[in-house]
Homo-oligomer: A and B are copies of this chain.
Amino acid sequence: MLPVVTSLREHFGPDRVSTNDTVRTQHGRDEGIAREAPPDAVFFARSTQDVAEAVRTCAAARVPVIAYGAGTSLEGHIAAVHGGLCVDMSGMDRVTEVNTGDLDCTVEAGVRRIQLNEHLKDTGLFFPIDPGADATLGGMAATRASGTNAVRYGTMRDNVLALTVVLADGRVIRTARRARKSSAGYDLTRLFIGSEGTLGIITEVTLRLYPVPEAISSAVVAFPTVGDAVDCAIETIQMAIPVARIELLDERQIAACNAYSALDLPERPHLFLEFHGSPPSVEEQATEAGKIASTHHGDSFEWARTNTERAKLWKARHDAFYAALALRPGSMGWPTDVCVPISRLAECIALTEEDLDETFLLATVVGHVGDGNFHVLFVLDPSDERELAEAERLNPRLVDRALSLGGTCTGEHGVGVGKIGSAAKEHGEDTIDVMRKIKRALDPDDILNPGKIFLPQ
């Protein structure tokens, strides 16, 4: 490892490579509870060519290299489980191109989503994918992130037109052009999206943008039970009402948000909804959704009347994780993440609630229920091993339940270290073997974020 540090310091100057303990620790830890492992050194990249040089240097020495965006991943994606060099992408934060006429833009991988939308403010366009955390676009692409808006706008899979990627030998490729569609060969864009830095390091992302809707309305609606709220969400999707957001928060999560985000909602399960479109279309969607809610015993919609109220509502939703943690000062959170076909969602959540009713753990449920995706947030006392053990007992039950209902072990967080076993169970050995063969073909020395997604065999 030392020769890599020496070589990069010679090339870029001493300030660009840190071996400081604090810096290393910070770069080996994400926001989840899966494994932490500090890299041996951290390199601060400023350009694609910098990343290419770092990867070439690591390749020559067969040293692992791990891309780091904002550190907001949840399954130990950035843990340097075999040591090596962390490439911090936060200095690559330029929006390099906005093509308003094509509704697209190109950003360096270290640009964060809030920064991008600030940048786009005067164009009348926005980028909808919103995983809650203020993640980097490179990291979001690498984990195939999504979030609250996915029900309407899709995930990172659907909203990336092209990538610039540094390969394991330091070569730089562009995966596609800016055309909206293409049949010109293998879909390398989609292959790198969700590959978690194991096949290449994404350094630039070309994104689809959308016009800011003429009208946006947000509402909350309370239900007597989680089952009623979920049934309402299912019917809304099955009736093809094009909601932009439809989020479940259970009664415990509502209590947490009331306290943390100064809301004043009844402590019952809620859906948070948002409608985008022309004023008459939003009106129409809201009316239809309201009818469906009332057939599932929902209260009438409480509307966010102003932009400020709307912003407060969604900030509260985004802060749900921190709100849950605040229920118990000093706690650590474990957000699980499964996704099932929507017709099985009610069953999956009901069975999960039974588990939660029986456990001694503190936990809330939030979900992007329009996609069939939900999270149990375990709020754990880090000093109590029994609590972690209990969460470790319940999470596989949740994953198995989702798989048995035709779902996936992770809707949007990714595999990282934490879900290697679950992904193997989901896909089976032959499918994992295809992934492994691709990995070996593109990274024969296993230097790119090794130890993630699947076992090396």
Contact = CB atoms under 8 A, between A and B. Distances in A.
Contact of A180 (B177, B211, B342): B342
Given A101-B342, A191-B187, A284-B281, A181 B146 contact: yes
A407 B162 CA distance: 12
Interface stretch (A29-37, A295-303, A434-442): A434-442
A434 B177 CA distance: 16
B184 A410 contact: yes
A410 B183 contact: yes
Interface in A163-195: 167, 171-188, 190-191, 193-195
Given A177-B406, A180-B342, A181-B155, A187 B441 contact: no
Nearest to A200: B434
Interface string A137-181: 000000111100010001101100000000100011111111111
A118 to B, nearest CB: 21
B280 A431 contact: no
A411 interface: yes
Interface string A97-116: 00101111000000000000
Given A183-B145, A411-B181, A453-B185, A442 B431 contact: no
A150 B181 contact: yes
A176 B112 CA distance: 29
Interface stretch (A62-70, A320-328, A419-427): A419-427
Given A174-B428, A176-B408, 7 more contacts: A177-B403, A178-B341, A178-B407, A183-B194, A183-B413, A187-B190, A211-B239
29 contacts: A99-B341, A101-B234, A102-B341, A102-B342, A103-B238, A103-B240, A143-B183, A144-B181, A144-B182, A146-B181, A154-B158, A155-B181, A157-B190, A172-B430, A173-B434, A177-B426, A179-B402, A180-B342, A181-B339, A181-B371, A184-B419, A184-B422, A185-B415, A185-B432, A187-B191, A211-B239, A280-B280, A280-B281, A438-B441
